[in-house]
Structure 1
């Protein structure tokens, strides 16, 4: 597949560019450009403040979907923003669990960038969407986000929230995420596949991974080609992994590299369960070779996977550009 993108189109609604559009080079301090101050106690001070949107539960407001926030785990400060179409087309709607991107370090379920996407996702696909506010690194290094990604499934199955009990079809659940959120969705899938009986009546039917943020120590051709790409230079991805992974491990750890040891053994269960997996990517993203390699890994294990890759573009395009978001919505509807 290919897509022709004008300069104007590639910048519309792209909050990623506010963070990454810099003259990056190998001598630059990535943390300074990322607007991060590294603190002695292992935390960071985030100087960049991204726009946020409040939930909108009022049916009289002209929003794409209704939304509200609910606490998941008060002790961990995790919560979720739930989205519901204004006028559901049926009594029971597919359930999508969404994990936002941001290199495990940035953004929130309340960030306007992801709030707008999830509201449109709910409306366009007629789904109940649960967008998780998971714990961020380095204050909470991996696997904290992966643990939170599964805890929300346990929470949903016991929740008495009316939007979930009345409208969500627990037998049609999909895990979705963008960038680091795509990596979280994949790892949530691995963990959920290993405990399917524990999360019933929730039954996962598929994963939708939007430009998943995978890593590894050996550079790929696309990483070398786009090493100094203004949107997502290599020194940034290295820095994000350094802050997110457990101290003392490298990018070939299982939390970052899905290719380790020939792929996780749980993939065999995902194949047997018949889950559908969709992976989105584009040639303008330095991570594209890792995403293509991941699709080949799943194909080699006979997992039902669909790779949708486009020419040009950049990292973040499927969230930031409405016409590309539609590609995601179309695949979701085909999975239903």
Structure 2
């Protein structure tokens, strides 16, 4: 998490703020001391066990699977568990499925939701600019449907699948969801029931009111600008549809999601500088006829639900209810 003590009237170097180093070849360095990772764990004393599996050796992309340990006891669970495909945040340029607070978040999610979680390690920009992360998410969905892994085969309910992402991961969930809806027959036996966009990272060339009034410690504007500059296709503005879903908006793009009966949840907080964009996208989807559930808390900051365990618990109560209702409605 970035240093929150920087004076608000100054504009620090965004590279220094994020503890990353620009390289002459256009890549960035991510020093391990500032970007730690944690290993998966099959510790028998824990409520949730996890493991890593590669789905594309060439791209070095993999997933971390999380399974509630009680699922191993057939007397505890008589039916298979919902399947959650999760995309972590980091502005497309930093962090990982193995970042400690995302690992802890997925552990809690698996336990509280009684679900199998598949956390996707997608490629980061600027080494791999968008749409690489979208490609990786779609590839992970294809991998899941054919994987011989026993945790997925024996415990995951493929007919009850959700795609969820936080921040940049919420953006990926949105775009990968649109792709999946357009090619749904190729994902069988996976049946996607809904999308959960948690503080999704959307942008635009014109500052929103929430961006202008924000003094967010995690995502100040100069950091957001750098993230878009490093992740969007070279030469693109923040009004590219990867960043701004409302740019040249065509409501018909949601027709497939509507026809499939997917529900959408958009969650965030008023203290997030991106809240205006999040509520705008939610409203556009609702106007297009989608069933949209919104959950916006007062205060907070970008990423608060991941970094504050008490907020995590509150969010997951709403997510669990969304899963339950979505499972019954389709």
Q: TM-score range by the shorter chain?
A: over 0.9
The C-alpha deviation readout for 1:139-159, integer Å capped at 9, x for no partner, is 100000000010001101111
Structure 2 length normalisation: TM-score?
A: 0.92
What are the within-5 Å matches in structure 2 for residues 197-208 of structure 1? 197-208=185-196
- Determine the C-alpha separation between the residues in 1 that align with 2:289 and 2:10: 40
What are the within-5 Å matches in structure 2 for residues 148-163 of structure 1? 148-163=136-151
Whether the aligned pair in 1 keeps the contact of 2:55 and 2:62 (CA below 8 Å) is yes
2:320 alignment counterpart: 333
> Residues 20, 135 of structure 1: CA spacing in aligned structure 2 closer, same or farther, 3 A cutoff?
farther
What are the within-5 Å matches in structure 2 for residues 233-248 of structure 1? 233-248=220-235
Q: Give the superposition deviation at 1:22.
A: 2.5
Q: Does 1:212 align with 2:200?
A: yes
1:64 alignment counterpart: 47
2:74 alignment counterpart: none
- Determine the C-alpha separation between the residues in 2 that align with 1:151 and 1:183: 16
Name the structure, 1 or 2, with higher relative contact order (CA <8 Å, separation 6+). Answer: 1
Match of 2:59 among 76, 86, 89: 76
1:92 alignment counterpart: 80
2:39 alignment counterpart: 54
- Determine the C-alpha separation between the residues in 2 that align with 1:41 and 1:97: 33
The C-alpha deviation readout for 1:195-238, integer Å capped at 9, x for no partner, is 10001110100011110000100111001101x43332111101
What are the within-5 Å matches in structure 2 for residues 34-49 of structure 1? 34-47=18-31, 49=34
Secondary structure at the counterpart of residue 184 of structure 2: coil
The Cα RMSD (Å) is 1.5
Whether the aligned pair in 2 keeps the contact of 1:263 and 1:297 (CA below 8 Å) is no
- How many equivalent residue pairs? 317
1:4 alignment counterpart: none
Whether the aligned pair in 1 keeps the contact of 2:217 and 2:301 (CA below 8 Å) is no
Whether the aligned pair in 1 keeps the contact of 2:251 and 2:288 (CA below 8 Å) is no
Q: Give the superposition deviation at 1:57.
A: 1.9
Secondary structure at the counterpart of residue 295 of structure 1: helix
Q: Does 1:28 align with 2:16?
A: no
- Determine the C-alpha separation between the residues in 2 that align with 1:117 and 1:191: 26
Q: Give the superposition deviation at 1:29.
A: 2.3
Whether the aligned pair in 2 keeps the contact of 1:20 and 1:232 (CA below 8 Å) is no
- Determine the C-alpha separation between the residues in 2 that align with 1:317 and 1:236: 17
Q: Give the superposition deviation at 1:264.
A: 6.0
1:107 alignment counterpart: 95
Whether the aligned pair in 2 keeps the contact of 1:22 and 1:231 (CA below 8 Å) is no
> Residues 237, 21 of structure 1: CA spacing in aligned structure 2 closer, same or farther, 3 A cutoff?
farther
- Determine the C-alpha separation between the residues in 2 that align with 1:328 and 1:128: 18
- Determine the C-alpha separation between the residues in 1 that align with 2:58 and 2:3: 30
Secondary structure at the counterpart of residue 248 of structure 2: helix
- Determine the C-alpha separation between the residues in 1 that align with 2:5 and 2:97: 23
Q: Give the superposition deviation at 1:102.
A: 0.6
Whether the aligned pair in 2 keeps the contact of 1:208 and 1:277 (CA below 8 Å) is yes
2:133 alignment counterpart: 145
Match of 1:182 among 145, 170, 178: 170
Match of 2:266 among 273, 279, 304: 279
**Structure 1 unpaired stretches of 5+:** 1-15
**Structure 2 unpaired stretches of 5+:** 72-76, 325-330
Q: Give the superposition deviation at 1:327.
A: 2.7
